[in-house]
Structure 1
Amino acid sequence: MTNEKYPYEIKAVKMEVEGTAHKFPVIVRIGPKGYVFPENFKHSAADIYNMEVRPSDVFVASFPRSGTTWTQDMVWLIASNLDYERALKVPLTERYAFLEFFSSFNDEMKMKLLDANKDDEAKLKEVKLLLKPATEILETTPSPRFIKTHLPLSLMPRKALEAKVVYVARDPRDAIVSLHHLVNSMKFMSMDEDFKAFWKSVLNNFQPWTPYFDHVKEAWEMRHHPNMLFLFYEDMRKDLPSVVRRVSDFLGKKYNEEEIARLCDHLSFDNFKKNPSVNYDLIKEIGLMYADKDFVRKGKSGGWRDYFDEEMIAEADKWIEENLRDTDLRFPSMQ
């Protein structure tokens, strides 16, 4: 389906026909690159694409599990004059609108969530907020608005680059391992397939937000745009102060060395993992995520080697080589 409000074709695909390692019975493929989303996304795609963008908006975008949460907290603090008090008090989920997350839930999931929280007024309110279209929430959000998305640039609001966009990319092998852990921590997405089956489903572009390389390359191609900042997760791990300075410059902020050192300490992995404001505790409380799982996991680079056998390493090498052949994109971990 296409219409005058949306420039891309949306095709529905029944997954029991193609077979894959996730729980969405129907997915949609969007546009010439065939980006994958849960079926419900087709109802919100045009609203997101045509959303009004304010020049003061700040988007943090990525393929899932590329260091998004870490980048979000860094960007918010830099843009908000290092307001640690508010950052620790107000959860990241309230400081950022997650642009497409509400469309991940089908009617059955929505009913289960609402029913599970019906006896707790506070939790029920949070569930209803989670299920409300982000475009509606953003209409009444005061500026500056902070927006998280895993949409590729072409499916983001068409005027997104009239605002600021920070895109973070990560070695796909690490991102896919982390995404597998996340999927299995979510009650409505967890599955029995092992990592190898999940890997194949990403390789074959059946997982939501794939194809991975098209996603990253769209942002990479716009990296010289004055309103786009392209970051690598591995650079953040290796030299966070340098990245903090780049983000500060991009957002028109100036901080001294002492302030940068304090921010890097706040964002250090040990402190970040213990920070309830960024650990999505709310998602556990309302029953979306298993209580014994961690949203922020190990955060290390190169951890994929613990999960890939020789066959998968060969597949990954070929996949990466083929997709980087036509571009000067190079990941720090691959140089």
Structure 2
Amino acid sequence: MEANANLPFEIRQVPSELNAQLLKDFTGERTGFVQVGPKKWFLPAKYREFAAHFYNFQPRPDDVWVVTFPRSGTTWTQELVWLVANDLDYETASRVPQVERFPFLEFNIFFHDEVKSEILELNQGDPFKQQLVELISEPAYLSLQEHQGRRFVKTHLPFSLLPPNLLDTCKVVYVVRNPKDVAVSFYHLNRLIKTQGYQGDFRKYWHYFEKDLHPWTPYWAHVEEGWRRRHHPNLLFQFYEDMNRDLSSTIRRMGSFLGKTMDEAQVARLADHLDIRNFRDNKAVNYDLVKEVGLLNSGEPAFIRKGKVGAWHAEFDEELDQRADKWIEENLRKTDIVFPISLHK
């Protein structure tokens, strides 16, 4: 497939001086970054090679997709979706890592070839781990195309970069989380995983996030695309804060959306399985495969962190908080999005 075949948007390189600064701060990328379409979706340069594969990917009627801006409760939602759709098969969920049960559509574009070579060298002499590296770095669309049976797909790409017939073909769950908690959680992930390799402090990180110079931004355009589709019968739109506040109701709503019924005992057991205290200790969802091959930096919080609403307070000082509030107010005025909580407290 030609790299940019049938694409209704342009892909442009980030200006060279800005690109050089970004490469110093995000050491997991070695080539640079691009901005896509009129909204300037920010992605690594490798996106150019695979954009058509994502946009022209063929969804199937029995697919279930989870679409989110990163760190919006994605992994939590994936586990909920998979278990409900698979009749609460806890045995398989504990035995098969979530990254295999629920492939991440575009992860390969973040796994730079130079980083892959370094990780392969790190695991030299261990054929099993080297095979894991090859598995992790393989484009997910290839394995998904070959997959027999129901498919579960995770992506952080916005709707405008995904197959145009996605919602008219299959079920999609879209989750939104308040931007301050997203930014703090994403900051720690960027420091944790070597494919991102962020080197700076949170203040500088917020600058990139706020200025839409960070993978998958702009945040507000991403959320607005999900919000605009919230009434589509094939879309379940969820706020992370509502999920956190009443998990049992969320489970029942998911069951209804996926055509599954559960009794109270089953709902209670699933709520316990998904409780953040248990979820953090669940090796099947905590990116243990990635950790095993050396893709995670030591000294950083685990992939599954606190899962709290309002955890952003730990990183925002008063000045940065006021700046963030102004940014939030300016962007909320452009939409009719109504969050279930105050974004300032």
TM-score category of the 2 structures, normalised to the smaller one: over 0.9
Give the equivalent residue in structure 2 for 1:333.
Answer: 341
Structure 2 portions without partners, runs of 5+:
none
The residue aligned with 2:249 is 242
Match of 2:187 in 1: 180
Taking a change above 3 Å as real, the CA distance of residues 160 and 190 of structure 1, as seen in their structure-2 partners, is same
The alpha carbon displacement at 1:72 in A equals 0.4
Alpha-carbon deviation of 1:290? Answer: 2.2
Which stretches of structure 1, 4 residues or longer, exceed 6 Å deviation after superposition?
none
Equivalent-residue separation in structure 2 for 1:17 and 1:268 (angstroms): 42
Total equivalences in the alignment? 335
Aligned-pair Cα RMSD in Å: 1.6
Name the TM-score, length of structure 1 as normaliser: 0.96
Equivalent of 1:22, from 18, 21, 26? 26
Deviation (angstroms), 1:271? 0.7
User: In structure 1, what is the Cα distance between the partners aligned to 2:298 and 2:127?
Assistant: 20
Q: CA deviation at 1:89?
A: 0.7
Are residues 1:252 and 2:259 paired?
Answer: yes
Residue from 272, 284, 309 that aligns with 1:301: 309
2:335 counterpart of 1:315: no
- How far, CA to CA, are the matches of 1:210 and 1:173 in structure 2? 14
- 1:128 CA drift (Å): 0.8
Which residue identity lines up with residue 26 of structure 2 in the other structure? Answer: H
How far apart in 2 are the matches of 1:330 and 1:306? 25
How far the C-alpha of 1:160 sits from its partner, in A, is 1.5
Displacement, 1:157? 2.2
SS of 1:75's partner is helix
Q: What's 1:166 paired with?
A: 173
CA contact (8 A) 1:14 1:27 kept: no
Alignment of 1:268 with 2:275, yes or no, is: yes
Instruction: Tell me which amino acid in the other structure corresponds to 1:313.
Output: D
Distance 2:320 2:127 in 1: 47
Alignment of 1:55 onto 2:61: yes
Contact 1:2 1:8 (C-alpha < 8 Å) held by counterparts = no
Equivalent-residue separation in structure 1 for 2:198 and 2:238 (angstroms): 32
TM-score, with structure 2 as normaliser: 0.93
Which residue is 1:278 aligned to?
285
- CA–CA separation in structure 2 for the residues paired with 1:58 and 1:277: 19
Identify the range of structure 1 (218-227 vs 133-142) with the bigger mean alpha-carbon deviation. Answer: 133-142
SS at match of 2:213: coil
AA partner of residue 169 (structure 1): V
Q: Within 5 A, what are the aligned runs for 1:142-153?
A: 142-153=148-159
Which stretch of structure 1 is more off in the superposition, 267-276 or 6-15?
6-15
Pick aligned residue for 1:199 from 196, 201, 206: 206
The one-letter code of the counterpart of 2:244 is R
**Deviations for 1:254-298, whole angstroms, at most 9, x for unmatched residues?**
111111011001101111011111111111111110245411011
How far does the alpha carbon of each residue in 1:117-166 deviate from its partner, in whole angstroms, 9 at most, with x for none?
23212211111111111111111112210001011111122222111110
Residue by residue over 1:175-229, the C-alpha shift from the partner in whole angstroms, topping out at 9 and shown as x without a partner, is: 1000000010113423331100000110011110000010011011000001111
Q: Match of 2:26, SS?
A: coil
Residue 12 of structure 1: aligned partner:
13
Unaligned runs of 5+ in 1: none
Q: Which residue of 2 aligns with 1:67?
A: 73
Deviates more, 1:196-205 or 1:114-123: 114-123
Q: Report what 1:40 is aligned to.
A: 46
| Alpha-carbon distance in structure 1 between the residues aligned to 2:288 and 2:218 | 30
Which of 114, 123, 127 is equivalent to 1:108?
114
Aligned to 2:141: 135
Residue aligned with 1:44, SS:
helix
For the residues of structure 2 that align with 1:22 and 1:272, how far apart are their CA atoms?
29
Structure 1 residue aligned with 2:99, among 93, 101, 109?
93
